[in-house]
Structure formats: structure tokens, C-alpha cells
Chains A and B, each alone.
Chain A
Amino acid sequence: VCTGQVWMCVLMLCDCVCVQAQKLLRERLCHQKLPDQPVGLDSQYKHMLELLRRTAVHGESNSVLIVGPRGSGKTMLLGCVLRELMSLREVQKNVLLVELNGLLQTDDKIALKEITRQLHLENVVGDKVFGSFAENLAFLLEALKKGDKSSSRPVLFVLDEFDLFAHHKNQTLLYNLLDVSQSAQTPVAVVGLTCRLDVLELLEKRVKSRFSHRQIHLFSSLSFSQYVDVVRAQLSLPPDFPDPKFSDEWNHSKLCDDKTVEEILRRNFNGSKDFRSLHSLLFLAVSRVSVSHSTLREADLIEACRLISADSKANVLHGLSILELCLIIAMKHLNDTYDGEPFNFQMAFEHLLQLELVRPVDSGVCKVQREYQLMRLMLEHGQVMEALQKYPQCPTDVKQWALSAFG
């Protein structure tokens, strides 16, 4: 009995440790926790920090754009910079931070309300019913322009999805923000985050001229070995993990040296260098860790990779009946014969339509009879073939038909 209890305890402990490790890693991978130091972005980090510090401490107005592809760490970089900046006491007390997102503040009116809210100016606005945009803007500008370099609190404006602000009517908000940043009024730093390289071309001339033309580009020039290092760092447990034995074991697994794992990572690296796709891959792998196998094995990664890189439409094909599949194959042959010309059917294939594997050509011009409506096949040649290969109990002659060169 005694041994049994001990055994249970050990199991529970192990379970506990394992779950803890998993939880920790999962948090790291999907909660977008800021890393301690941005990887590979040191110069940009320094530049950015210097720039914002000058606004926050010396009251020098500035405007800057952070440009980089999706997942390249723009927000992370800014977050790290702000974290360091806010750790200075004088800054913390002094600086006002306004964060806007182009996807949330879809027009200037909303953006302005949000700015007012974030600057805690609602009380000042208070009883005045701010109906019109103009009143709001006038009020805000007055508040901003009243200040001077030395005595006003600096305001940091962070505009996420900067390009979307450029679509606002007349670019009023941008014009005014950048105008304030160009003149010696309240110290203002306008930081725009965008993934569009041509964002400056979106700006009107008058707005463009007021922008300081500082752009910080975040293009990752990571090599594959660095990439693997990052993977290793991401998967290792921190030194303050409660069970040192477990973490030691975990951290010393030779996972990344494995040939297949490297293959998978390289494939992922070739696909995109950003860490977001890496995180989703690792997240799937880490989720497979359980009590029964408490370490991360290559099989987990392979499975995760399979899940991630699976073609979604080929998966859909697996759910078709033989008849529908025949239709698809017929269409494939038509496609091959007529090189992608649209075709029509006199048969009903609502299901296929619903699955959007086949789609009517939008002509919009004439009302064709339903039976003669032109259709397009939304599948690649290879997708059909792959699906057929994997299709459970597919009649051989259908397969043969699909493989044959002639319809």
C-alpha cells in the first residue's frame, strides 16, 4: 500500500511538473509575452529608444515609422522600447501614451474620441456634448498647441496599422498630429507601425512634407543557425523552474540536432522568417506533450508540421462522395483539355458549389439559364491527385481515370 501511495505521489508530481512546463511554454508561445531583448533588432532598438527618450526627456518632437512585414516584430520592438522607457522614473510620471489602431479607429472621429479618452480629457470635456468632430479636434489641438517645449508633458502617439489612417478622409488626423510634431508646441512623438513599404506614397503631399521621413525597417536578416538558436531558446525552460531536475532533462534534449527536426525547421524557415509561424508550429508540438511522454520528441514536431502545412482544400475533398469526386475529376480533365476555360454542367452539384470547390464565373451581365451557367474549378491539378491518393476506399478505375491523360 505504502509503495503504491508513493508511486501515486511520484506520478502526480511528474504530472504536475510536466503540466507546469507545458503551461509555461504555451504562455510563452501564444500569449505574446515580450521577450527580454528583441532578437536581431539591436540597432533598431537603440535608435528607437534614443528617439523616444529625446521626446520624453528633452521634449523634442519627432515622428517615425516602423515598417516591416507581418510578424517581423514591430509591436514587440515598440513594446520593449516602451518598457525600458517607462522604467525611467521621470518618464513614467511625465509621459502620456496614446495608442491607436487603424483597425479599431476606423475614422478620425472615433480616433479623436479615443485620444481624448486616453489622455483623460473626458472630464475636461465633461458637460460639453461634443457632437461634432470639429469641436473635438479644435479642443484637442488647442490642448496640444497651448503647450511649449519646456513645460508640457510629452505625448507619445502610437498608431498601429498606420496605413489605414491614411485612408481617412483628408488625412485630418495625420495632418494635425504631424503638424504638431513639426512645430515647437507640446512635445509629441508620432510612431506609426505598418507593414506596407509604400506607406509614404499614401500620404498627401501636405502630410508627407510634415512627416520627418524617419523610417525604421524591420527586415529580419536571420540566418538558419540563428533561427535554430531561437527555437532552442524558445523551448528551453527558465532556470527558476521549480523542478531543476526536470528542466535540466528538458533543456538537454537533443531535439534540435535531429535530422528530421532540422528538415522541418528549415522548411518553416524557408516559408517565412517570422517568429509567428514558428510559434504556431511549436505550440502544436508542445500541446502534444502529456504525462505519458513528458519530453518533446521529433514525432510531435512532425505531426505539428503535418497539421500546419496540410492543404485545406485537399482535406475538404476527402469528405466527398464517390460521385462528387467523379465530377471533380471530370472537371479536372476538362480543365486540362481546355486549359482552364470555364465549363458548364447540366447536372446538379449543389454540394460542390457549397463547398466552393466549384464556383460560377461571375458574369453579372446576362442571366444564363441555370444549367448553362459557366463554372470554374477551384482546385489545382495536384490537389485533386493528392486527395485521390489519400481517399479511403477509392475505386481503382476512378483513380485510373484521374491519372489517365485523356478525359
Chain B
Amino acid sequence: MSRYITRLRMRRAYKWNGRPVSKDRKLKRQYYESMSISVEGKTEDVTVSLGQYILIEGDDDDNPFVAQLLKLYTDDSGKKKTAVVQWFVRMCEVPQNKRKLLGRDPHPQEIFFYQDRSCDNEVDGETILGAVQIEYVPVEDPFPKGKSKGILFVKLLWDTKSFRALNPELMQPPQSSKSPPPSSHGTQTRALPTPDLSVMKRAMSGILTRGSMSTGKMSSSEAESLHSASKLSAAKALSAKRRSRAVSGPHVRKKLDLCSPSKNMTRDDVLGEILDEHTEKTLTSKLNTSPTGRISISIRLTRLNLNEEECVSPLSSHSPDKPRLTAYDKDDATSVFLGVQPIGDDDPEPLISTGRTPRKREATPRSAGLRGLKARTPSRRKDALREPALAALAEEEHEYSPVQTAATPCSKRKSAQLESSRIRKQLNLLGNTVDLQSDGEDGDDDDCFVPAKIDLQSSSDEEEEAKIDSEDELIVKKRRGSGTSRSTEKTRVSARTPRKTPSKKTAPATPRTPRHATPSIPSRSAPAKKPGNVLEEARVSCQKLQETTVLLVDELDLLWTRKQNVMYNLFDWPTRRNARLVVLTIANTMDLPERIMINRVASRLGLTRMSFQPYTFKQLQQIITSRLNRVKAFEEDALQLVSRKVAALSGDARRCLDICRRATEICEHSGSQKNSSGLVGMSHVMEALDEMFSSSYIAAIRCASVQEQLFLRAVIAEFRRLGLEEATFQQVFVQHQALCRVEGLQPVNVSEGLTVCQRLGSCRLLLLEGSRLDLFLRIRLNVSQDDVLFALKAD
């Protein structure tokens, strides 16, 4: 549960001051100049007006988010108050690894002008806490002293990559109060990078055919182009790809939407229309002539809520990069995660587990844009790599974390542990969320997918008539232990919609039966119902809340039922109108749709399919090093051996880490006897590998008793005689007795022979039929004959 539930909240009432200054008929919005906030228990109201600096409610009560108010408007119902803001960041919101870029200690009251186009700048009006005073200090000047604590200073600009000197003009209240929307737009676009050349060209050559245009659509496309343009050039290829998808995406999808009441159009028509819109939009965005131009940037930062449980995690206590939040909803702008995981038996009645959040785990909050940059820019790679490692240490090692300054939860366990056990802990899988950077491109793709979907979603939010559903499913195929769940989790995290008053439920669990694959809907305590009904209800409530839902289904293959109703429903939901649902499924069968899905299910499946290859040895090596986090515990060669061996066999990261853990144990034990370097060396790793991979059959045969060995010999002799791989007990027994005589042992009788046979069978060295067949039970070898002979010969 989010800790916001338990927080004491002051009740505030929000009121518009005066009449609307302007009106946008298309968007059915009324713009206001100021708003008054009356707080319960206080007599005087606070009034915030355009251009003023405001505090916005965030996770941290002591450090609310700071922003400049640019616009205030309400929708036609008059209920929802929305504010458009220019963000400022505090130092604590800058990612920790970037803080050193400042080159000096920040002033405690210092904030930075935030320039990131990918950040959503619309917030729920009701999250505004009040006004604040901000002073611009030129770069060269020292911070003024002796001012009151309430004043914040801004000196520099933070563009998610570096600190730069701030042009004071940016800070000016952007418009005269007469025409707020257009001029605010002007301010916004000033910071825009120049649009892509090709896009411009097309835009210029395009013929403006339609007089009317949808501003909503415009804004979404603009947002995308902005987003992609802000990428570094090194990532150009990727971003271009992504933009092309995103630019065309919403419209194409809208047009092709199955449920949208679209006209019958030929393909060419559709394409033409899309193209037209596209050109119009790029043109308008460039010329900036839209009278009602309202920017809605749709890529946004992620902000995660830390659960109560998570509060103990040291990661949360010093989560470095706290990006700002934007709430764009009245109530909760949250995305609800409905998790289902199909592990369980078949129970007749379905279960709706209510409010159960089995695996609440949130990762380092990080903006999608930032992540993209990090992952894609080669020069940033190093940072990206170090950071998760740090995080890993922080999470795994409550006691040892060197970076940790915040109070750690007091541990009941002995804190005095050996270095090696600490290393082992780090190697423990799923210690908590650690970025699997080694996922490389896969992870990026996944990253892109979900935000893209939500982008699309949010653009459709704004464009209320269009009613776009964001529908898409991504079947993430995986090999075991190749990090699918982990990276999806990451994605889930990064794709989370920001919010102000969060009541987020993340319930990514495995449903116990296919029929139980009913998403656990927050705060539901209803008796069992049919899954369809539950979803219907959830959908209605989500619609009310304007929530985007990401449905994560793990182990999809277990949801298979004979009629495939569950899967059908699952993939049918997002195709409905207003579903606002992204279905993300994970399975480890590569060709799941082709193999088990019937047509009507397969056709509802989205096209995005991502396959996770087994880890290569380099990736495995990277995983281990990142887990070890600079602690020199393994010899270089030893690491390589492990990763190569595992990569060659399965590419299973879990296995790899297990071997490393075992190797450290072995090292610890042997180290006490003959102290070598103290590092885990080749010999230890070899031993661990042997333990894990060696077949136990041969050892078992060698340690078997004499009669058992003779019996195996007799089996092989009988097989040779018959030329078959199968013999009855009677036949083998004759051989056995003969062998006994040869060996000079007293021949065994049938009962004893059968006992020996059964004992071998229980070890599964032999495969036997039921023992009621007595003399005629058929015997097969479960090991190859060569193995048996080898084991017996070595004796």
C-alpha cells in the first residue's frame, strides 16, 4: 500500500477567481487567470495566478515540487482543474550520478530551471499547494545571504544531461494576462530544437488541404518530434525509428481502430489522410500559428511511489533521482497494474484477490527519456553501468552500503558477516530491483514499447472526441532466466504514469489457475465473479479515474484452457473502446501464438513480439560484475569461465549467479586452510561447475553394491544377447546368476534379485514396469550402456 493512504492530508478547497479569460470551444476549455486555495483551518486564502511560482504536492512533504504556473484551465464540466507549468528541480531530484556535474555543492535553497521536453507539464490543479518565491541569481553572482528560508534561488538550467547557465528570459512570466494560451505556447516553443529537416521539407511541400485541424492531434505529434529531437545524435537511428513509429502511430492506429466509428475508407484514403494531417501538423508546429495551441508533452517522467514496505529499502531512503511528477488527472493519475500469473491448480470458483500486492517492488525512479539516453548513448554507458551496481549494493547490503547515509532499518540479524557472505548476498538473485543493463537492446525496445503506448494513450486522453484505445499486446518470449521479468518490471516502472495523489496498486502476480486470471482490482472486496464482469467493472472505474492500465501476465502458457476463453478475454480487452489497457504477457515458449492459440485469440494479439535471446557470455559477465559492484572477489579468468560455460549451456542468468555463489562458498572453505589470494579462483569455479553440471549417474553406479553392479552388467549382457534395449527380469536374472557364479559369489535367489532390481529402479538407473509383473517385468536402462561400462570398468 502506498504510504499516502496513511498520511494526514490537509483538505484544501480550490476556487477560480473571476471569470474565464478565454475559452477554447474545440477543446471545451475555459482558461482562468488565477485560482484561490483555501486551506481548512486557515482563515486566509492563497491565490495563485499565472506567472507565479508554485509548490506542487509531491512524494516528499518537505520538498514539494516547484514550478511556474503558465496556464490554468478547466474542462467543460468545470470540475477538473488543470494547470500547465514550467518545472524547476531541486538538487535532490537530479539523478545522483549526475549531481557531480554541478561541480560544487549546491546551495540548500537552490533550484534549477528544468528543461526537458519529455516531461509532462500538466498537473492537476488540485495538487497545487501554494505560492513560493523564486529569485533569479546570475551565474557569476554569489547566492544572496540572509534571506528567508522560503525563498528559492535559481541560477542554472538543468536539461537532464548537464547544468547550463539560465537565460533569465526563460524565467519571465511568459505572457501578459490578456492572451495566455498563445503566448505561453510561444515560450514553450522557444526552447524547442529545430525540427528534423526531412520533416520540415515534407511539411513545406505538403499541401494544406484542410482548414480545420485537431489541436490534440497536433500536440501529440509535436510532442513526439520534440522528444525524439532531444535525443543525442549518437542515438539518432533508434530515435528516428521510434519517432517514425510514434508520429505515424497514433493516427494510424486511430484510423485502424476496430471499434472506432470510422468511415469506410480505402487504404489509400487512410494513408492520405494521415499524411495530410501529418504535414499540417508539422507545419503548424513550426509556424506556431495555432490559436489554441496547447502543448501537451506526452513523454513523462516516471515517479514511483514507494510502498510502506519499500520504505525500509535503503534505495528508497536515498533514491537519488527524483524526477518531478505531473498529475494530469483530477483524482488519481495512476496506472493500475493488474497482475496475473497463471500458476495454480484448477479451482472451480474464481478468485478475486482483493488489494493483494504480492510483489510490490519499485525501482529507482528514472525518466523514460533519461533512460533511453543512457542506454543508447555509448558515452553514457559507463554511468549506466555503474549506477545499477550501486543500487544493487545499496539494496543488498543494508549494513555495508558505503553510500548510504540515511538511517537503515535495524536488522535483527547479525551484521557482522564475512566479506564472502556479503559477496554471496550480492550474488543472490533478485536481491531487489537492479537494472539488468546487460539486456541491452532488448530492454530498450521494451522500454520504448510501454511508454509509447502510454504516450499514445495520453494523447488520446486529451483528444476526447477521438477515443483512441491504446491497444497492443507485447508477447515477451523468453528463455528461462534471461531476465524477462526483470526487464519488464523495469519497464513497468518506467512506464508508470506520474501522479500526484497516488493510490497505486501494482499487483503483478501469477494467477493460480487460468480461471483465476482475474486481475486483482484495487480495493475490491466482492465475492467471486466472472472475470469478464470484473474487468468490465474495473474498466468503468478506471475510465472514471482516467487511468491507464498495464496488465502484466507472467507465464502465459499456463493460462491455456481448452476453449482458451481466458486468453481470448485477455487479448480482447484492449481492443475494446476506451480500454486504456496495455497487455504485456510473458511466456517462455518461442512460438506460443502459433502453437497453442486458436485463430480468434491469435488475431487479437498485437504485433509486437519481443524475443529474449539467452544471455551471451559477455552479458553474463557484465551481470556478475555489476552484482559484485567493484568488489574484487573473482579472478578475471574465473569469471570468464563461469560466464562462458553457462552461456554455452543455457544462458541462464540464475544458474550463472548460483554457480558464483557456490564458488564463493567453496573458496571460503578452502581459504581457511591454505590462504591463497583470497579471490575466487579457477579451481573453485571449476569445482562449483563440476558440482552443478556433472551427472550423478556414474558416481551412483560406482558407489552401488556389488550385486547391483552385477545386475547392471547382467542387464547389458542380456541386451547384447537379445539385440534389444529391453529385457524381462527373468532373462536378466538368468544372466545375473551366471555372473555371480563367474565372480565366485553365492548366487542370489529371485527375491534378492528382485530387491536389487527395484533398488536400481528407484534410483532411476533402470526404468521398470510395475513390480506386480514379477518375473516378466520389463527392464530398460536409463543410462547409456557406455556410461555403465565406463563406470564399472573404472572400478
A-side residues, CB < 8 A to B, are 50, 54, 57-61, 67, 69-70, 107-109, 131-135, 137-138, 141-142, 145-146, 148-151, 168-170, 172, 175-176, 182-184, 195-198, 205-206, 208-210, 212-215, 217, 219-221, 267, 269-273, 309-314, 340, 376, 378-380, 382-383, 386
Q: In the assembled complex, which residues on chain B have CB atoms less than 8 Å from the CB atom of A168?
A: 345
Interface contact A145-B409, CB-CB below 8 Å: no
Check B347–A184 contact: CB distance below 8 A. no
Q: Which residues of B contact A219 (CB under 8 A)?
A: 699-700, 702-704
Residue A150 contacts which of B413, B658, B749, B776 (CB distance < 8 angstroms)?
B413
Contact call B309/A69, Cβ cutoff below 8 A:
no
Which chain B residues lie closer than 8 Å to A175 at the CB level?
343
At the interface, yes or no: B405 with Cβ under 8 Å from chain A?
Answer: no
Contact for B749 among A61, A183, A309, CB less than 8 A: A309
Given known contacts A272-B756, A311-B749, A150 and B398 CB-to-CB distance under 8 angstroms: yes
Residues of B with C-beta under 8 A to A132: 347-349, 351
User: Mind listing 17 A-B residue pairs with CB under 8 Å?
Assistant: A58-B413, A58-B417, A60-B428, A134-B513, A135-B351, A137-B512, A138-B353, A151-B409, A170-B343, A214-B662, A219-B702, A271-B706, A271-B748, A273-B704, A309-B752, A379-B775, A383-B749
Residue of B nearest to A362 (CB): B773
Q: Are A137 and B344 in contact (CB under 8 A)?
A: yes
Whether the Cβ atoms of A221 and B658 lie closer than 8 Å is no
- Complex contacts, B708 vs chain A, CB 8 Å: 272
List residues of chain A with CB within 8 A of the CB of B430.
182-184
Select A184's contact among B432, B509, B746, beta carbons within 8 Å.
Answer: B432
Q: Is the CB of A197 within 8 A of B351?
A: no
Chain-A contact segment, one of B6-14, B39-47, B759-767: B759-767
For residue B346, CB closer than 8 A to chain A, the reply is: yes
Inter-subunit contact B705/A271 (CB<8 Å): yes
**Is the pair B409, A170 in contact by a Cβ cutoff of 8 Å?**
no
B751 close to A378 (CB less than 8 A): no
How many Å lie between the Cα of A183 and that of B434 in the bound state? Answer: 12
Query: Is the beta-carbon distance between B745 and A59 smaller than 8 angstroms?
Result: no
Q: Which residues of B contact A312 (CB under 8 A)?
A: 751
Q: How far is the CA of A109 from the CA of B705 in the complex (A)?
A: 39
The CA of A193 and the CA of B703, in the complex, are separated in Å by 19
1/0 per residue, CB under 8 A from A, across B582-623: the answer is: 000000100000000000000000000000000000000000
Instruction: Give Cα distance in the complex from A61 to B733, angstroms.
Output: 47
**B411→A151 contact, CB < 8 A:** yes
Residues of A within 8 A of B702 (CB): 219
Q: How far is the CB of B336 from chain A (nearest CB, A)?
A: 18
Chain B contacts for A138, CB-based, 8 A: 351, 353, 356, 358, 509, 512
In the complex, which residues of chain A have a beta carbon less than 8 angstroms from the beta carbon of B558?
A: 170
Q: Shortest Cβ distance from B416 into chain A, in angstroms?
A: 10
Find chain A residues with CB under 8 A from B429 CB: 182-183
Closest Cβ–Cβ distance, residue B712 to chain A (whole Å): 13
A146 to B307, CA, bound (A): 11
Minimal beta-carbon separation of B575 from chain A (angstroms) = 28
Query: For the complex, what is the distance from the CA of A215 to the CA of B691, rounded to whole Å?
Result: 8
Question: How far apart sit A134 and B782, CA to CA, in the bound complex (Å)?
Answer: 37
B756 A271 Cβ-Cβ under 8 A: yes
The answer to whether A270 touches B745, judged by C-beta atoms less than 8 angstroms apart, is yes
Question: B414 contacts A58, CB within 8 Å?
Answer: yes
Bound form: Cα–Cα A378–B751 in Å: 13
Contact string against A for B residues 274-308, beta-carbon threshold 8 Å, 1 for contact and 0 otherwise: 00000000000000000000000000000000000
Chain B residues contacting A145 (CB-CB under 8 Å) are 358-359
Contact residues in B for A213 (Cβ distance below 8 Å): 655, 658-659, 692
Residues of chain A contacted by B652 (CB below 8 angstroms): 209
Say yes or no for B678: interface residue by CB 8 A criterion: no
B431 within 8 A of A: yes
B421 lies within 8 A of chain A by Cβ: yes
CB distance from A49 to the nearest CB of B (A): 12
CB of B97 within 8 Å of the partner chain: no
The 0/1 profile, CB within 8 Å of A marked 1, for residues 345-370 of chain B is: 11111010100101100000000000
Question: Nearest chain-B residue to A313 (Cβ)?
Answer: B750
Contact (Cβ within 8 A) A133 B345: yes
Q: With A197-B696, A208-B480, A272-B756 as known contacts, state yes or no: A148 contacts B309, CB within 8 Å.
A: yes
In this complex, the interface size class of chain B, counting residues with CB under 8 Å from chain A, is 35 or more
Q: Which positions 696-743 of chain B face chain A at CB distance < 8 Å? A: 696-697, 699-700, 702-708, 730, 733, 737
Bound together, the chains give a CA A168 to CA B692 distance in angstroms of: 25
Complex Cα distance, B430 from A210, in Å, reads 11
Q: Smallest distance from the beta carbon of A369 to chain B beta carbons, Å?
A: 23
B569 interface residue, CB < 8 Å from A? Answer: no
Assess whether B425 is interfacial by the CB under 8 Å rule.
yes
- Write the nearest CB–CB distance from A307 to chain B, whole angstroms: 12
Given A60-B421, A209-B654, A212-B658, do A170 and B705 touch, yes or no (CB 8 Å)?
A: no
| CB of B506, distance to nearest CB on chain A (Å) | 13
Bound-state CA distance A108–B513 (Å) is: 13
Question: Whole-angstrom distance between the alpha carbons of A215 and B692 in the complex?
Answer: 8
Complex Cα–Cα for A184 and B776 (A): 52
Within the assembled complex, what's the spacing in Å between the Cα atoms of A215 and B700?
13
A159 to B417, CA, bound (A): 29
**A60 near B425 (CB under 8 angstroms)?**
yes
User: Quick one: which of B348, B512, B706, B765 has the most chain A CB within 10 A?
Assistant: B512
Given that A138-B512, A150-B398, A269-B705 are known contacts, is A380 also in contact with B775, CB under 8 Å in the complex? yes
B759 pairs with A272, CB closer than 8 A: yes
The answer to whether A142 touches B358 (Cβ under 8 A) is yes
Q: Which residue of A lies closest to B396 (CB)?
A: A184
Please measure, in the bound complex, the distance between the C-alpha atom of A270 and the C-alpha atom of B745, giving whole angstroms. Answer: 9
Nearest chain A CB to B696 CB, angstrom units: 5
Q: Is B513's CB under 8 angstroms from A378's CB?
A: no
Chain A residues closer than 8 Å to B730, beta-carbon distance: 340, 380
Query: Is B477 interfacial (CB 8 A cutoff)?
Result: no
How many whole Å from A176's CB to the nearest CB in chain B? Answer: 6
- B192 proximal to A (CB < 8 A): no
Inter-subunit contact A133/B347 (CB<8 Å): yes
Bound together, the chains give a CA A109 to CA B344 distance in angstroms of 10
Partner of B776, one of A108, A214, A376: A376
CA distance A151 to B745 in the complex (A): 61
A169:B346 contact, CB within 8 angstroms = yes
Would you call B516 an interface residue if the criterion is a C-beta within 8 Å of the partner chain's C-beta atoms? yes
How near does chain A come to B401, taking the closest CB pair, in angstroms?
13
Of all chain A residues, the one with the shortest Cβ separation from B354 is A138
C-alpha spacing A383/B734, complex, angstroms: 12
CA gap between A310 and B749 in the complex, in Å:
8
Q: How far is the CB of B558 from chain A (nearest CB, A)?
A: 6
Q: Which residue on chain B has the smallest CB distance to residue A309?
A: B752
**Does B431 lie within 8 Å of A184, measured CB to CB?**
yes
Nearest chain A residue, comparing its CB with the CB of B749: A311
Q: How far is the CA of A170 from the CA of B356 in the complex (A)?
A: 22
- Further 5 A-B residue pairs, CB within 8 A, beyond A151-B409, A272-B759, A273-B703: A132-B347, A138-B512, A272-B705, A273-B704, A380-B730
CA of A169 to CA of B344, assembled, Å: 8
CB distance from A8 to the nearest CB of B (A): 46
Q: A70-B759, A312-B751 are in contact. Are A141 and B513 (CB under 8 A)?
A: no
Q: Which of B344, B424, B555 contacts A206 (CB 8 A)?
A: B555
Residue B196 CB within 8 A of the other chain = no
B705 touches A267 (CB 8 A): no
Q: B412 to A151, Cβ gap below 8 A?
A: yes
Partner of A69, one of B432, B511, B700: B700
For B518, the closest partner residue in chain A by CB is A134
The answer to whether B759 touches A210, judged by C-beta atoms less than 8 angstroms apart, is no
CA distance A376 to B776 in the complex (A): 10
A-facing residues in B396-414 (Cβ within 8 Å):
396, 398, 409, 411-414
